[in-house]
Structure 1
Amino acid sequence: MRELTVLYDAHCPLCRRFKDWLAAQRPATNGQGGVVRLRFVAAGSTYARALYPGLDHEATLREVTVVADDGSVYVGDRAWIVCLWATWEHRHTAVRLASPSLRPVARAIVQAAAGLRSWTSVRGGGDYADGCDGQCDRQG
Structure 2
Amino acid sequence: MSKKYLYIIIGILVLVIIGFATHEKTVTLIMKNKENGTTVDFGTLKKKNILSKNYTFKYINDMHDTLNVYGVLDGCDCTASKVKEGIYFRNDTISVETDYNPNKYNDKGLTVKQIFLVTNKPVSKFDTIYPLTLKGIVE
User: What's the TM-score bracket when you normalise by the shorter of the two chains?
Assistant: under 0.3
**Structure with greater helix percent:** 1
**Structure with greater strand percent:** 2
TM-score using structure 2 length: 0.26
**Which structure's CA Rg is the greater one?**
2
TM-score using structure 1 length: 0.26
